Structure 1
């Protein structure tokens, strides 16, 4: 339901070209906000443009585009109610295999880009008493095999969110983290394609060590995505974080995320290793070794 006050407020959503970001932009517009929706291509802008949704060209790793967004917000008489940091890339590969330039790209998009946008828009958020919604992941709490770069950036985003919350909550700005599990979007599909491309560049020795692991992880990712939350359902969690009067510091999105967040703290590192390895083992190709790389060997 729209309120007269919400129609006077802006929300910025980054990474709104498709998936959860696009759904969040539409859901927030439906609730009466004017949404500045960050996209990187004209065709995505054309598909997203609607009442209450204004696409803006935004690559969060490009300082000129971040500055243009900040200027657009500053020129608008409406208060900035929320920034939803949703842009991201998923890159999965063993630590040994992933080139350093890919590590840097993942951190640029999944961490430093969010910091850049947050820094640029914090003055407007401070004036309005708004809030920052950082889209993290269950990977921001628990890192599975091949998730080193992605989880590393998300772990860092969780830490930055905690630090930022403690800095700006006394100033009237709330900081909220949303931790999705599997979401039925193209995000994981693109991640699988990237993983396969990186696997194709492995040396024969690396392929012997990690080939089965990569294939098993891709199968697990596809399975989790197929049974995951819809983008629209995830967007409603984001909208709750944006609109509820007293938001929690963290929200999960999806049953798998809620389960892992409850189960994880109850297990030791070794016990959690065994749980994750057993879940992954079901997806290993028949010709590959049964024990996933990195899993603790059984002791007789």
Structure 2
């Protein structure tokens, strides 16, 4: 006799997934619930909670930059008998803009969400993870390995997350908690589409001098990003990789998602900076707007 999914809820423990409204986060919540976990799925809005709620998935309103939300999440975790097996730090926003042209307040917002919010969630839930020898899964990006032109702000947050993950892994390994990084390449999600919209908005707000210097570059990056998200991996494929990081008996320190991610991470290890510059420039050149007749 097979056990129904409803009867398996929580048999594998509890997992917290941030940024679960759409994309990789939502797909990960569903994949883990299917595997018998109770998933506390962080969402920003009630309508997102209603869309995600299902057997094994308990949506929680969570803005990872709000200390009160994080405190409430920690209280919710501590109040249950189901052990916390993992935290998947997935919430994030995408911003691409030239370093010179992006206002500092935009930089700070990006780091608050993509780095400091993850640190805050991890700090709050580490006591529960330490009790159960759980693990921390940080969703990074190939942008945590290579920063193409205009990817400096976003990649800066991911490079920092990679560094924090390395330090945290070495701090927690003696205490029985594993730390794993997942590095997706191009994934077709709403986050990618929102990133394109944000990049376009920021480009329209650039000064005339900035538009002269970077206008065609930004257009090429938008086209490249659109091609990557359209032809990339699916959110469900990424979710299966995250689930492997959660459930593997001896997880790898890093997982990639998609062939593009695997290739880029290999290139970053073997090519010189100048060679990588040429590869990145050639990749963007194919997406530059055609010269006017």
Question: TM above 0.5, one fold?
Answer: yes
Q: Which residue of 2 aligns with 1:155?
A: 159
TM-score using structure 1 length: 0.94
Equivalenced residues, count: 288
State yes or no: 1:66 paired with 2:70: yes
CA RMSD of aligned residues (A): 1.4
Deviations 1:85-129 (A, max 9, x none): 000000010000000000000000000000000000000000000
1:296 is aligned to: none
1:85 maps to which residue?
A: 89
1:115 to 113, 119, 135: 119
Give secondary structure in 1 for the equivalent of 2:182.
strand
What secondary structure does 1:7 align onto? Answer: coil
Alignment of 1:171-190 (within 5 A): 171-190=175-194
1:278 matched to 2:282? The reply is yes
**Matches for 1:241-256 after TM superposition, within 5 Å:** 241-256=245-260
Q: Which residue of 2 aligns with 1:294?
A: none
Alpha-carbon spacing, 1:133–1:63, altered in 2? closer, same or farther (3 Å):
same
- Return the TM-score normalized by structure 2: 0.96
Shift of 1:6: 5.7
Alignment check: 8 A CA contact 2:10 2:82 kept: no
Of 136, 139, 144, which residue of structure 2 is paired with 1:140? 144
Deviation, 1:59, is: 0.2
SS at match of 2:11: helix
Runs of 4+ in 1 over 6 A off after TM superposition: 1-5
Contact 2:43 2:49 in 1 (8 A): yes
Conserved 8 A contact 2:9-2:55: no
Deviations 1:241-260 (A, max 9, x none): 00010000000001100011
Unaligned runs of 5+ in 1: 289-300
Deviation of 1:226 after TM superposition, in Å, equals 1.0
